[in-house]
């Protein structure tokens, strides 16, 4: 696969990648948990605090106007990035809050006793626990889409008739990319709505919520080069307008009287209090950075890297999820036979290689696979084949240690 992608030039934008850990050059392979930040994002936050710091929407002085412009410009950039209107972008602190917002503001009002709510066995806890709580509170039936031996969803047609279908675009453990267009179609044909957890897809591939026709779409900034504490909920405007607010306080109201109050228009109705302004500014800068490279190019790079890694690791470890790189995002969850994943991660860290170990906030999926935990190496636009080689050599070292 040949494409224009200068990974060394990209790496130069990330100050932390020049670090050494335990005397070895850092190989950061924990991008599924959080990504590193380019200098352009860091500089945007410093510039905001150095030159424009003020509260948004509430002041007529110059700094407030500049802060408001930067905050709303970030909303515009995000809307364009996923192809929707600015009114349909609600800033939250992360995907977990976005999904909780949908559960409380939409689910509690629209799900009745006996209704069905569908999720899958591969969901992150953030897209599992809220619906479990909703089903309990509303006396609804929580149903689960199963997975096959290849790590792909099976029996999707079974979600038809569910009031809410909430599934991940891509699994944070298996890497599986799910057929979101089909998920949304089946949900709508059965009279329900489709909620998509896109935390593991938006950073890695082009997305289009209008083409997908999802009703809600949640993702987080810190996995896509932006700061922590900023996330996004996309919701169809007609649904957001009907929903009650999730949080109450400043800026989400137009008028407050002793007798009651009137809510602000969407999306501000869902943004109570002073928002994470610098987080939004950083997210806008991250979107600019990703657009400058091109999401198609990032996806090509990750598929190439993933294909290389799968080929190298296949004979060394037990890999979970599809073995076809085109069917998964750039992460590989695995186990070294006879070695606990924490031990794998600890030995790799001695050589400056950062991976994840545990259940990756996907305990029901691990239970389904008969596992207590797994190790996970997750790649992004700045990772290289040389780092994959270091990972493979590190795993061979693990096997020697525990031989």
DSSP 357: E
Beta carbons within 10 angstroms of residue 79's beta carbon: 20
Query: Annotated catalytic, 84?
Result: no
* Tokens, residue 220: 């987080």
Catalytic residue among 84, 184, 214, 361: 361
**Cis peptide leading into 267, omega within 30 of 0?**
yes
The CA distance from 293 to 385, in Å, is: 19
List, in sequence order, every residue forming a beta bridge with 166; answer none if it has no partner: 195
Domain boundaries, the chain: 7-30+294-401, 42-291
The CA distance from 26 to 391, in Å, is: 11
Beta carbons within 10 angstroms of residue 102's beta carbon: 27
Neighbouring residues of 259: CB distance < 8 A, sequence distance ≥ 6: none
DSSP output for 40-108: HHHHHHHHIIIII---SSS--SHHHHHHHHHHHHHHHHHHHHHT--GGGEEEESSHHHHHHHIIIIIIH
CATH class of the domain at 7-30+294-401: alpha beta
Q: What is the pLDDT along the chain (403 residues), one digit of tens a residue?
A: 334 689 999 999 999 999 999 999 999 999 999 999 999 999 999 999 999 999 999 889 999 999 999 999 999 999 999 999 999 999 999 999 999 999 999 999 999 999 999 999 999 999 999 999 999 999 999 999 999 999 999 999 999 999 999 999 999 999 999 999 999 999 999 999 999 999 999 999 999 999 999 999 999 999 999 999 999 999 999 999 999 999 999 889 999 999 999 999 999 999 999 999 999 999 999 999 999 999 999 999 999 999 999 999 999 999 999 999 999 999 999 999 999 999 999 999 999 999 999 999 999 999 999 999 999 999 999 999 999 999 999 999 999 999 8
Please report which helix (H) or strand (E) contains residue 212, including its range.
Answer: helix 209-212
CATH annotation of 42-291: 3.40.640.10
Model pLDDT, residue 59: 83
* Tokens, residue 213: 């026709």
3-state secondary structure of 146: strand
The CA distance from 361 to 219, in Å, is: 16
Model pLDDT, residue 152: 97
Model pLDDT, residue 403: 85
Model pLDDT, residue 1: 35
The CA distance from 77 to 284, in Å, is: 6
The CA distance from 309 to 163, in Å, is: 40
- Dihedral in degrees, nearest 10, Cα atoms 167, 172, 175, 176: -10
Check: CB of residue 213 under 8 Å from CB of residue 23. no
Model pLDDT, residue 146: 98
Model pLDDT, residue 58: 80
Strand residue runs (E) in 214-259: 216-220, 231-235, 253-257
């Amino acid at each position: 696969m040949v494409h224009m992608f200068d990974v060394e030039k990209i790496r130069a934008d990330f100050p932390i990648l020049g670090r050494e850990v335990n005397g070895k050059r850092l190989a950061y392979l924990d991008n599924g948990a959080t990504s590193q930040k380019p200098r352009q994002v860091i500089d945007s936050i410093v510039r905001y605090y150095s030159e424009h710091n003020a509260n948004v929407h509430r002041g007529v002085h110059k700094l407030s106007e500049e802060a408001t412009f930067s905050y709303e410009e970030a909303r515009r950039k995000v809307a364009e990035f996923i192809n929707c209107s600015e009114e349909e972008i609600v800033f939250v602190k992360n995907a977990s809050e976005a999904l909780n917002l949908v559960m409380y503001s939409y689910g509690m009002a629209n799900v009745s006793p006996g209704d069905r709510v569908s999720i899958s066995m591969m969901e992150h806890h953030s897209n599992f626990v809220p619906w479990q709580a909703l089903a309990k509170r509303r006396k609804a039936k929580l149903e689960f889409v199963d997975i096959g031996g290849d790590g792909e969803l099976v029996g999707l047609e079974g979600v038809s008739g569910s009031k809410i279908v909430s599934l991940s675009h891509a699994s944070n453990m298996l890497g599986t990319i799910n057929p979101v267009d089909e998920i949304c179609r089946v949900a709508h044909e059965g009279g329900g709505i489709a909620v998509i957890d896109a935390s593991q897809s938006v950073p890695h591939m082009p997305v289009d919520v209008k083409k997908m026709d999802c009703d809600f779409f949640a993702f987080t900034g810190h996995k896509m080069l932006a700061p922590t504490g900023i996330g996004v909920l996309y919701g169809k405007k007609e649904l957001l307008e009907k929903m009650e607010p999730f949080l109450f306080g400043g800026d989400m109201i137009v008028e407050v009287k002793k007798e009651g109050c009137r809510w602000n228009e969407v999306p501000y109705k869902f943004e109570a209090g002073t928002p994470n302004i610098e987080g939004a500014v950083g997210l806008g800068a991250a979107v600019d950075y990703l657009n400058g490279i091109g999401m198609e190019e990032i996806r090509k790079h990750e598929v190439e890297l993933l294909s290389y890694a799968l080929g190298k690791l296949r004979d060394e470890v037990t890999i979970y999820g599809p073995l076809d790189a085109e069917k998964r995002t750039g992460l590989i969850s695995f186990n070294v036979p006879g070695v606990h994943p924490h031990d794998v991660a600890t030995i790799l860290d001695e050589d400056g290689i950062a991976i994840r170990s545990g259940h990756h906030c996907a305990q029901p999926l691990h239970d389904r696979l008969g596992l207590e935990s797994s190790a996970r190496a997750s790649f992004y636009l700045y990772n290289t084949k040389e780092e994959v080689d270091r990972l493979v050599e590190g795993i061979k070292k693990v096997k020697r240690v525990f031989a």
